[in-house]
Structure 1
Amino acid sequence: MTEGYDFASRTALITGAASGIGAACARWLDRQGIERLILIDRDGEGLGKLALSCDVETHEADVADERFWQGLETRLDRLDHAVVNAGVGTGGTIAELDFAEWRQVMAINLDGAFLTLRTALNAMRKGSGGSVVVTASVTGLKPVPGIGAYGVSKAAVAHMARIAAAENAAHGIRVNAIAPGGVDTAIWNSPDLQAQFAQHGREAVIAQMGKTTPRGRFATADELARDIGYLLSDASANVTGTVLTSDGGYTL
């Protein structure tokens, strides 16, 4: 076991765990010997398809549902790590965006992240502390036209993570955020790209989009999971309140 990466006898909670970065984090933690995972996603079928060797508790739930979190918090007797990851994307300029769509994005990406983080912090305060990673985005750091609601929500969660880090360091809790650039996940399977996927194939379209980064390709979910795993682990014991940019050089 690599120094600082021993997750034995620990419990982690992951939202958006049925696919993409969340599922990759679940697999990575499982390989590191974590004892128990609490996995949350609206896609219950996707959660059921994860093949993990550790003890797994799954919840098919909406992260923006406060009643769900209130019920879960009463049953959480221990929590060591949390990955606040659930999110949705949207397109459209701010001037043209429908308010209902704006609110849908904020409900999941911001409100849901707040409810997840609050629950995780309260559970960790019952024990000896822990570590949290919030999934933000480079679009919360660099203005990208056409995805205003998503970018605003991700800027907000990144700052929320830093505030939570300042508030909880004395409780032995570290809170960091990660700001991925393009990652090949289902978030790209939007109606806007379906015509291109149908004409050229999804793999070719994603590869072409990835060429816009200095690295020349999008990251994989497994690569992001390793970055998140570092921030969760004891190997980053002195790191809190940071926003780690993992974007293949996109923001250079």
Structure 2
Amino acid sequence: MTERVALITGAASGIGAATARRLSQGVGGLVLVDRSRDALCALAGELRGPELLLRDFDVGSEAPWSELEEAVERRFGRLDHVVANAGVAHGAPLEETTFDDWRRVLSANLDGVFLTLRAGLRLLRKAGRGGTAVVVSSVAAVKAEPGIGAYAASKAGAAQLVRVAAKEGARDRIRVNGVLPGGVETPIWTQAPFFQELVDKAGSERAAFDEMAAMATPLGRYASADEIAGLIAFLLSDASATMTGALLVSDGGYAL
């Protein structure tokens, strides 16, 4: 994979950063997109080996994507792998969800996936070598819970985009698959206001995660970001050569 180039959105933290670290051991170039320039630069300082192209913008905004496509072609002349990972969380009953909140969540989690796949598929086709894409959806796409209407709808939409994109890309040897994680130990939890209250009660972040996982996950633990990154790397690699349109659930049994 040393000549290959991979694009990752939401690259500066959590699953995105773990995936960037993992792929940096093999690919020749990484295109890293995140809203936080400071966090992107901090991650870039850790990575050794691949040539880096950094862009800080909101993935749900259309305008920056045209510039990014041009920049990838100028810098690398190819794209081989796409990871649509950027997303935001939201929790509230439907009747308490404002339209602004709904649009914010759909913009990042669904518009962002659409725009990432659109740009990624264009670049993969131009390169003419086939390629792979992975969309990070969520088990919320297939399991209903109170208070996650906007988030669940956005992730369900992203999961269906995987299947459509897989059919559209197949003729050009472009494979598209999805990952549906359950609980993952990432900032999407640690930055939530309720989590700090749980930490104060439980005594540590580790204890707080263990307590949350024990309540709803048969395996009794959440995944690490590195574990989900490993699954993404598998779906990007030739080891999954006959897989496309697959939606792999990795949730510790939560959806059972």
Report the TM-score, using the length of structure 2 for normalisation.
Answer: 0.93
Deviations 1:21-79 (A, max 9, x none): 00000011112x11000000011111112211121111111111111001111233211
State the match for 2:47 in structure 1. 52
2:72, 2:126 → 1: CA distance? 9
CA–CA distance in 1 between the matches of 2:254 and 2:200? 27
CA distance in 2, matches of 1:173, 1:236: 12
Cα distance between partner residues in 1 of 2:231 and 2:241? 14
CA RMSD of aligned residues (A): 1.1
What's 1:35 paired with?
28
Give the whole-Å Cα distance in 2 for the aligned partners of 1:87 and 1:197: 24
| Whole-angstrom distance in 2 between the partners of 1:94 and 1:242 | 30
Match of 2:205 in 1: 202
Instruction: Please give the alpha-carbon distance, in whole angstroms, between the structure 1 residues aligned to 2:5 and 2:161.
Output: 23
What code does the residue aligned with 1:209 have? M
Cα separation, 2, equivalents of 1:57 and 1:85: 17
SS at match of 1:12: strand
Q: Which structure dedicates a bigger proportion of its chain to helix?
A: 2
1:3 counterpart residue number = none
Residue 94 of structure 1 deviates from its aligned partner by 1.1
Report the count of equivalent residues.
245
Structure 1 counterpart SS, 2:33: strand
* Percent identity for Structure 1 against Structure 2: 49
Change (3 A) 1:198 1:44: farther
Confirm whether residue 164 of structure 1 aligns to residue 165 of structure 2. yes
Alignment of 1:49-198 (within 5 A): 49-50=42-43, 51-53=46-48, 54-77=50-73, 78-127=78-127, 128-188=129-189, 189-198=191-200
Write the distance in 2 (CA, Å) between the matches of 1:179 and 1:144. Answer: 15
The one-letter code of the counterpart of 1:71 is: E
CA distance in 1, matches of 2:55, 2:199: 32
Distance apart, 1:206 and its partner CA? 1.3
Q: Give the C-alpha shift of residue 213 in structure 1.
A: 0.9
Deviation at 1:143, TM superposition (A): 0.6
The answer on 1:21 being equivalent to 2:3 is no
Task: Give SS of 1:64's match.
Answer: coil
* 1:198, distance to aligned residue in structure 2 (A): 3.5
Q: TM-score, normalised by structure 1?
A: 0.94
Tell me the CA shift for residue 251 of structure 1: 1.1
Q: Which amino acid aligns with 1:57?
A: L
Mind listing any 5+ residue stretches in structure 1 that lack a counterpart? 1-6
| Alpha-carbon separation, structure 2, partners of 1:157 and 1:147 | 15
Which portions of structure 1, spanning 4 or more consecutive aligned residues, are displaced by more than 6 angstroms? none
Provide the secondary structure at the position in 2 that maps to 1:251: coil
User: Which of 85-94 and 67-76 deviates more?
Assistant: 67-76
